[in-house]
Structure 1
Amino acid sequence: MKNILKSAAAAAAAMIVTAVSASAVIIKADETIPAAPAEEITMSSIGSVSKMFGTAAAMQLVDEGKLELDAPVTDYLPDFRMDDSRYKDITIRMLLSHTSGLMGTTGEDFMLFDDIDPAPHDELLSKISKQKLKADPGEFAAYCNDGFTLLELVIEEVSGESFAEYVEKHICDPLGLTYTGTALGRAFRSPYQADVFSSYIKLPADYCMASASGGVISTAEELSRFGKSFFTGNTELISESSKNEMKKKNIDKEYEGGFGLGWDTVEDKDYEAAGVQVVAKGGDLNFQHASLVVAPDEDISVSVLTSGGNSGCNELFAKALLDIALEEKGIKVEHTAVQPKELLTEVPEKYLALEDIYADSSSIYRITFPDRKYMRVENLCSDITSVNEFMYTTEDSFVLMDGKVESGKAVQAKDQTVLKVTSYNGKDCFVYEQYMDQGILGAMSMDGYLYMREGENKVSDEVQKAWEDRNGRKYYIYTEKYSSVMYMADPFIKLSTVPDVPGYTNIGAIVDSDRITYCASFPGTRDLETYTIIKDGDVEKMKAETSNITAISEESIPVLEEDMNTIALRTKNAAWYKIGESLGGKVKTLDIPDKAAVYIYDRFDNLCYSSYMDGYGNNVVFPENGKIVFLGEDGGKVTFS
């Protein structure tokens, strides 16, 4: 059966991703997987499933009496400081359960193509010392990469070993994980690295520089073998008491996340109904994705690794394999089908007082109840009109509709989304339950806080005008390393003010003429940012303070004309150009040195060329009214002819 499952896994995984690289393995307590021939070994970055390696390392140190879960981080990292006195209350447990109150991700040079750089690890304490917390430590859970990079530093301080060395010596070697390691350790540029794709374009592997957060690389076989160490009664790595601590839900409040220690989820209603506890962890880099699903009491571990798709689909497939293995043991898991809601044609009067401006971590919304017939949610920051309509139900909730309610032809959306009203810290909020249909794999379910009431944010006319003058302006990333994935995945920030709602932009609430801060801070709000405008002569820049990434305004980008055929490169200082009329439509041959890269975008900022695209060569068309960015290190130069 194991071989059949492995074959089915590879076939089905390929169906759910947008590229061709996929592998999956299921392991039971009484099974071992023989060493695969070299030509069959496939290694992939496992993204945030790496956090389980960081968690295992921490719990080993707990078992040895070297680390206490409820001790302050400062007991182990005396150099840890923040611009917020509450940091002293952050404990090791809070790092493991995403409840520290840290902003999220200090993302500078966080993910790189075919390159490694220890700076995100080495410079974290310096960068985080300038940050504030978004909440009291322990107040709520919100996914946090920086928490696990801090944990990585703690593990190194307590053990006296680098995290890469610790993982290899204390986790991989005892379990016989020959190929598993970190990008900053033995796994970088492995000859067994799986092919990586974006829209069927082959790319070099992307690596995460924060090892305990997302930098571990493994095979599906070895990741499943690692999952075995969490089986009940298996003490190869950590004690039974530590494993039990890991699979407890750390904040047992509805809609506030189901994190254990390390695990994304430690509860699943469908499996609980069958008497089975399932714990799961997913991980995503930009182009590589992973899921690890373990049923500890049933001795089953499943992993799925892909290039393309996402960790959510990987988890659904892993659970489909888990269901087969459970059925072999006589355990039948019934996955409840989503049932349509019973609708009412009138919204209760009590909800009319909720009409106002709301925010989530990334946008601003206006919520109204037209003629009390339905709830209308308008995204005020979208480039095009974006409105969702919800009808009231007999369960005192609102369900998403497809079509216009007033047409009389609207039907409940296939991907059911249900909103309910609650409050958090005295503010009105909406929470959600969503079920996304993934075809034969079933439904992906999510829940949490969604919108928080913000109301007016009063600013002076002068301050408002400063941001209105920037409305529609784009700012292009320019302080990332030449190998940064951001130039392909997320090269610019577009700033928009909000029509008829002064005091807000699409990236947050206005503070003054040069500062914007995040709006909502409630359970689940991850990676919050504040932004500062910087003037350097005639050049305007925008700095994302948490990420520590700076971008240059479109108006400050010079024009590249045909008489310019050599571009000098500078370290972490991107040379952006608008493609001038004399170059538009022409084919040029680029001479790009080592440790350098070139990206070309069309007039709409869609990527048309990167020197990282396999097989695209160096003969490229310069699109009319497009942009080009030259990246590299001091002393280098790119020429084109």
Structure 2
Amino acid sequence: MRGILKKRLAALGLALTMSVSLAVPAMAAEVKRAPASEARQKSAQTAVGYAMQYGGAIGASYALWEDGVFTISGEQINTPSSLKDSHMAMLGAVGGGLYGIGSVSKMYTTAAVMKLVEAGKVKLDSPVTAYLKDFKMADSRYTKITVRMLLNHSSGLMGTSSTNAFLFNDDDQQATDELLERLSTQKLKAAPGAFSAYCNDGFTLAQLVVEAVSGKDFMDYVRSALLTPVGLANTYAPSDGDEVLNRLALTCTADAQQRLLPKDTIGIVGTGGMYATAEDLAAFGGAFTGTSMLSASSTSAMASPEYDRGIWPDEPLGMVSYGLGWDAVEFWPFEQNGIQCLVKGGDTLRYHAALLVLPEYNMAAAVLTSGGVSVYNELAAAQMLADALEAKGVKLDRSEPALPTASPATMPASLVGESGYYGTTTQQLKATISADGKLTLHQMSMAGIPDQTLTYYSDGSFRDSTGAAAVKLVKESNGSTYFYQRSYAPLPNLGVLSTSDYLLVKMPENKVSAETQAAWDKLATVSAVPLAEKYSSQLYLALSDASSAAQVTSALTAGVEYVPGYVGGERIVSPTELLYDLPIGRDAGTVTVDGNLLWINGAPYQTENSLKNISTKSGAYSTIQSTGYARWYKVGAAVGKTMAVTFPEDAGFYVYNGDGTLAASSLLWGDTSVKLPEGGMIVFAGDSGARFQINFAS
């Protein structure tokens, strides 16, 4: 829990990535099955097993849909040592377990928008303000944002306004309801349409467009316009109630204890809050191969290379090539074989999902996990689809791709001028180019990584001695120089992880006084705690997870340096304001200082060094004030005492150890008392006026 940038990133990351007609509903009352060969079943099981292993998942469900029939469907469980056997069946009944699908929810939002387009009620290239009259921003360019830009991530919005979006066992939708208010004080990081950078807020806006135009609640419209017509009966939202929530696959903490957690509920449903079975999700993907859900023109438009409308590398693509909603409309190993593959991944803090569709061959695959990583799920789904193609006699070249053949060469002298600082929201480095064709990379944000020296090659790239990756510095049409990287990382038994995109951009010089820079450098090392998160917010656990991760990576993050005139990727505007305006990157924002408060993308945080010690007087009260802000305390002299807390309904408390990890939680584990740790912190959260009575015993 050290450093305001780590706090900002933790908060933003709670962030939480189609032509034969389908005449019969994909999921009619009677599910059609035609099991694949034993060899294919085994191959799918193996691929999913490796995805679970690489990502550390505890449970998985997967399905393959071919021409309206399920040929593969199954679940796998990795038993956490701390879970009782009686809990294991609750991870999800075979064929019926529900999982959070995270950002794959964006495909339902996109399809809902396209349904309204077909009805003539929405135009993709009309401004969002035509449908949301109350949409305003502190940046006049917002009027240029179109509906299309929401769906292809090119709106220029900062990224994720996630206050109270990620909750436990709480279907509160305030994160969606308050989005317009939060955006009203925000600026854009780029001109609308300039480039595509993953943006959650864009899809929450799209959800609001669907509701405003249809006159219905989002899930009501999705169900009536999309799900019911194609027979999808196992797709839900948190508001569907306890009966649905009780079907969710279990989740647990990411630490060694693997303690069970309450239900994962996301308050930005159209962005990342939906649930589905693997079969329902695969059948939804199958609906993009015909005209049962959307017209052929709609599915074709969604599968078009939207990424190419703005600044994008003129190079082979990696795992990101945006369509409308889709993360990728080109994907290994299908692209290399002349076959289009549509991909959407999704990650909440607890669930991870992948949906892949081969429109030409009427196939779709879904892999869902509790724990894990969506990228690995995508690769497992790709293995299932590739096996299915080969079973149909479609020969695929699945060999590992390689960098273009090139050799060391004389570098153009002009490249020396591209030396400088390069960055994005999460990474900054110093690039030094010498006249002899050497590029030295010095990590600023990951100071524990040693400097790396690359050599200039005949194809215009710089490469290391292994030839595993190629880097180019590309002057783009907007005048900025981009750091392009292309690499291939084979994952045994799972495929190839491909990177091919603009990772960083050259950071413009930003001169500030030495005093201003020093003040920000100092503040960047100060911890800050969230004030506006509900007691049910997942951020309280995420802060603990971030502290655990920081301990593991401390050797890499120690000694972080800042680019002159910047704190991380944010430009220093004044002694009290940071602004992100680099033409690249996701989940950006602003930071404003107001005494002991930091406003990060409009959300209030309090500096840890301004917190008071908790009173050691038994019978004392801590009351949530009219602002509704959480009350934070240091343990101080109460260390070693057992604190018992009495509190009202819809409230709760958390206690952190001195290293920032979570020691107790009333919400997560039903704690009502705890022995207070040295150097720890305590937070009480609830509605305005909620009173917490505190009693101590030695």
Please report the TM-score for the alignment, with normalisation by the length of structure 1: 0.88
Matched, 1:630 2:684: yes
Q: What secondary structure sits across from 2:142 in the alignment?
A: helix
Amino acid at match of 1:304: V
The whole-number CA distance in structure 1 between the counterparts of 2:559 and 2:517 is 9
Q: What secondary structure sits across from 1:198 in the alignment?
A: coil
Q: What secondary structure sits across from 1:598 in the alignment?
A: strand
Alignment of 1:87-486 (within 5 A): 87-185=142-240, 190-199=245-254, 200-231=258-289, 234-252=290-308, 254-255=312-313, 258-268=321-331, 270-339=333-402, 344=408, 349-369=413-433, 372=436, 374-382=438-446, 384=448, 387-399=451-463, 412=466, 416-424=468-476, 425-486=478-539
The whole-number CA distance in structure 2 between the counterparts of 1:629 and 1:299 is 52
Cα distance change on mapping 1:338 and 1:593 into 2, 3 Å:
farther
Q: Give 1:386 shift.
A: 5.4
Matched, 1:530 2:573: no
Q: What secondary structure sits across from 2:353 in the alignment?
A: strand
Amino acid at match of 1:108: T
Cα distance change on mapping 1:509 and 1:88 into 2, 3 Å:
closer
Partner of residue 580 from structure 1, selected from 622, 625, 636: 636
The whole-number CA distance in structure 1 between the counterparts of 2:650 and 2:118 is 44
User: Counterpart in 1 of 2:11?
Assistant: none
Q: Give 1:581 shift.
A: 4.4
Amino acid at match of 1:398: F
The whole-number CA distance in structure 2 between the counterparts of 1:554 and 1:569 is 19
Q: Give 1:526 shift.
A: 1.4
Partner of residue 487 from structure 1, selected from 540, 559, 568: 540
Contact 1:246 1:261 (C-alpha < 8 Å) held by counterparts: yes
Q: What secondary structure sits across from 1:476 in the alignment?
A: strand
Matched, 1:511 2:549: no
Superimposed CA distance per residue, residues 400-440 of structure 1 (whole angstroms, 9 cap, x where no aligned partner): x5xxxxxxxxx538xx4321110232122211123333321
User: Counterpart in 2 of 1:556?
Assistant: 610
Deviates more, 1:271-280 or 1:234-243: 271-280
Amino acid at match of 1:238: L
Q: Give 1:543 shift.
A: 0.7
Cα distance change on mapping 1:638 and 1:367 into 2, 3 Å:
farther
The whole-number CA distance in structure 1 between the counterparts of 2:620 and 2:452 is 50
Alignment of 1:582-597 (within 5 A): 582-584=638-640, 586=641, 588-589=643-644, 591=646, 593-597=648-652
Partner of residue 29 from structure 1, selected from 67, 78, 82: 67
Cα distance change on mapping 1:632 and 1:355 into 2, 3 Å:
same
Cα distance change on mapping 1:32 and 1:142 into 2, 3 Å:
same
Q: What secondary structure sits across from 1:270 in the alignment?
A: coil
The whole-number CA distance in structure 2 between the counterparts of 1:110 and 1:3 is 43
Q: What secondary structure sits across from 1:251 in the alignment?
A: helix
Contact 2:137 2:183 (C-alpha < 8 Å) held by counterparts: yes
The whole-number CA distance in structure 2 between the counterparts of 1:389 and 1:562 is 57
Superimposed CA distance per residue, residues 350-408 of structure 1 (whole angstroms, 9 cap, x where no aligned partner): 43332222222234322224794742222324464654443433432123x5xxxxxxx
The whole-number CA distance in structure 2 between the counterparts of 1:24 and 1:9 is 11
Cα distance change on mapping 1:303 and 1:346 into 2, 3 Å:
same
The whole-number CA distance in structure 2 between the counterparts of 1:479 and 1:453 is 35
Q: Give 1:73 shift.
A: 1.7
The whole-number CA distance in structure 1 between the counterparts of 2:680 and 2:366 is 42
Q: What secondary structure sits across from 1:421 in the alignment?
A: strand
The whole-number CA distance in structure 2 between the counterparts of 1:342 and 1:552 is 53
Q: Give 1:309 shift.
A: 1.4
Superimposed CA distance per residue, residues 563-586 of structure 1 (whole angstroms, 9 cap, x where no aligned partner): 3565524274222222224414x5
Q: Give 1:334 shift.
A: 2.0
Contact 1:279 1:293 (C-alpha < 8 Å) held by counterparts: yes
Amino acid at match of 1:533: V
Partner of residue 116 from structure 2, selected from 61, 68, 71: 61
Cα distance change on mapping 1:219 and 1:636 into 2, 3 Å:
farther
User: Counterpart in 1 of 2:78?
Assistant: none
User: Counterpart in 2 of 1:406?
Assistant: none
Deviates more, 1:176-185 or 1:119-128: 176-185
The whole-number CA distance in structure 2 between the counterparts of 1:622 and 1:338 is 55
Alignment of 1:6-17 (within 5 A): 11-17=49-55
Contact 1:45 1:216 (C-alpha < 8 Å) held by counterparts: yes
Contact 2:345 2:354 (C-alpha < 8 Å) held by counterparts: yes
Q: Give 1:35 shift.
A: 12
Q: Give 1:624 shift.
A: 1.6
Cα distance change on mapping 1:286 and 1:565 into 2, 3 Å:
farther
What are the ranges of 5 or more consecutive residues in structure 2 without an aligned counterpart?
1-34, 75-88, 315-319, 551-556
Contact 1:289 1:305 (C-alpha < 8 Å) held by counterparts: yes
Amino acid at match of 1:419: V
The whole-number CA distance in structure 1 between the counterparts of 2:431 and 2:691 is 53
The whole-number CA distance in structure 2 between the counterparts of 1:509 and 1:63 is 43
Q: What secondary structure sits across from 2:260 in the alignment?
A: strand
Of structures 1 and 2, the one with the larger relative CO (CA 8 A, separation 6+) is: 2
Cα distance change on mapping 1:623 and 1:417 into 2, 3 Å:
farther
Matched, 1:568 2:626: no
Please state which structure has a larger fraction of its residues in helix.
2
Amino acid at match of 1:201: R
User: Counterpart in 2 of 1:601?
Assistant: 656
Q: How many residues align?
A: 617
Cα distance change on mapping 1:187 and 1:124 into 2, 3 Å:
farther
